[in-house]
Amino acid sequence: MRTQVCIIGGGPSGLLLSQLLHLKGIDTIVLERQSRAYVLSRIRAGVLETGLCNLLRKAGAGERMDREGFIHGGTLLAAEGRKFRIDFDGLIGKSVMVYGQTEVTRDLYDARDRMDGKIIHDVDGTTIHSADTDAPYVTFVKDGTEQRVDCEWVAGCDGFHGVSRKTIPDSVLRQYEKVYPFGWLGILSETPPVDDELIYANHERGFALCSMRNANLSRYYIQAPVDDPLGKWSDDTFWDELRRRLPAEAADRMVTGPSIEKSIAPLRSFIAEPMRWGRLFLVGDAAHIVPPTGAKGLNLAASDVHYLSDALIRLYDENYSAGIETYSANALARVWKASRFSWWMTSTLHRFPTQTAFDQNMQEAELSYLENSRAAQTALAENYVGLPY
């Protein structure tokens, strides 16, 4: 097989990139290790920045989001039993879209299908060859047969555990990581959300987050030891702990119900540089991971796709190569800023096992400053809704 851009990974990054390039006449093949059903079974975050919403509309995959998504003009923070609101609309005139990432991925698959996009599922042994030459190619095994894709560029959209980042030589790759000493225990329940907007809570027992997918589907998280066995957390135990960490008025009105999904996820900050090696580009989680506190994972993948799709389109349309040359620097500039925000939100809202009384007072001072300063709230707002591309 031959294509212009071989995309490894059929998650949000790979699908969005493939769709944007195809719309400009650039041929792609997407290689995905899992089945489509498996990819669509993943439960992930659900807060979309304006930049991502605009890219989905540009890709012809935004119609259901605009119909079913919820525009949120602010978010709620809670600490020491009190609650205050960060008014995105009032402070900076912007908002976010609350719409499940699973639905984003589904809409992207549907858009690819409408354009007869070439996506090969259930591939094994994906290997990138000669990425540092002008003739890269990718091999993989499908139904026991090895196959080869000759291409002009390779986009590594294969997530944190993919092969793309590992293809870059250790002598070239720089990696930065911070692993947080806790995880997020999350559940999905067919219950009405506890509030109209998200609630991020800092409590002495640990962090809690109240989110949603629609008027009868709620998503809740509590900070928990990352090695806790799921069996330790019955639904009732989860609901009781969640309510302990929320202001009484929220806890009292919370509607509980059986969990339809329950999982514990680790939290880490991770960034790999550079995001390009020869004709291989890293995109999304293949290059960076953020703790979910700032809801930046999918949104950072989107800005990577924005930079790379623009660069490739201008290269093919105008023989303009500057975008390709500056892709890594442009993408990383935004990645580091979003990573800082995600680290700051995580540090401000979680209880750390080793934190001292001084650390605790710093958190309380940070939250008090945030509650009472327009400047501090504006800074949070502009980072949360998304810094410009």
Residue nearest to ligand PHB (CB): 211
Find, among 8, 285, 325, 281, the residue nearest to 131 by Cα.
281
User: Least CB distance from residue 26 to ligand APR, whole Å?
Assistant: 19
User: Least CB distance from residue 353 to ligand APR, whole Å?
Assistant: 25
What does 32 interact with, of ligand PHB, ligand APR, none (CB < 5 to 8 A by kind)? ligand APR
Instruction: Please say which residue, 50 or 355, places its beta carbon nearer to ligand APR.
Output: 50
Burial class (CB in 10 A: 0-12, 13-18, 19+), 13: buried
* Active-site residue, 178 included: no
Inter-helix orientation angle 101-114/50-58, to 10°: 20
Transcribe 214-277 into DSSP letters. Answer: ETTEEEEEEEE-TT--GGG--HHHHHHHHHHTS-HHHHHHPPP--EEEEEEEEEEEEEEE-SEE
Task: Specify the DSSP class assigned to residue 292.
Answer: G
d(CA 308, CA 264): 32
Sheet with 145-150: strands ordered across: 124-129, 137-142, 145-150
Catalytic residue among 22, 203, 288, 296: 296
What does 60 interact with, of ligand APR, ligand PHB, none (CB < 5 to 8 A by kind)? none
Q: Which of these ranges, 159-167, 292-300, 352-360, 371-379, lies near ligand PHB under the rule CB under 6 A?
A: 292-300
Backbone angles phi, psi at 134, to 5 degrees: -85, 5
* Active-site residue, 166 included: no
Per CB under 6 A, does 210 bind ligand PHB? Answer: no
d(CA 380, CA 345): 9
- Tell me the Ramachandran region of residue 319: left when phi exceeds 0, alpha when psi lies from -120 to 50, beta otherwise: left
What does 211 interact with, of ligand APR, ligand PHB, none (CB < 5 to 8 A by kind)? ligand PHB
d(CA 143, CA 272): 33
User: Least CB distance from residue 386 to ligand PHB, whole Å?
Assistant: 13
Catalytic residue among 99, 109, 221, 384: 384
* Active-site residue, 193 included: no
Length of the chain: 389
Per CB under 6 A, does 47 bind ligand PHB? Answer: yes
Q: Which of 18, 256, 259, 293: binder of ligand PHB (CB under 6 A)?
A: 293
Q: How many CA atoms does the CB half-sphere of 302 hold within 13 Å?
A: 27
Q: Which of these ranges, 29-37, 44-52, 159-167, 350-358, lies near ligand PHB under the rule CB under 6 A?
A: 44-52
* Active-site residue, 200 included: yes
Catalytic residue among 22, 292, 327, 350: 292
d(CA 359, CA 350): 11
Instruction: Please say which residue, 247 or 274, places its beta carbon nearer to ligand APR.
Output: 274
Instruction: Please say which residue, 345 or 367, places its beta carbon nearer to ligand APR.
Output: 345
**Binding track over 169-208 against ligand PHB, x by CB under 6 A:** -----------------------------x----------
Residues labelled catalytic? 72, 200, 292, 296, 384
Chain residues in the site for ligand PHB (CB under 6 A): 45-47, 198, 209, 211, 219, 292-293, 295
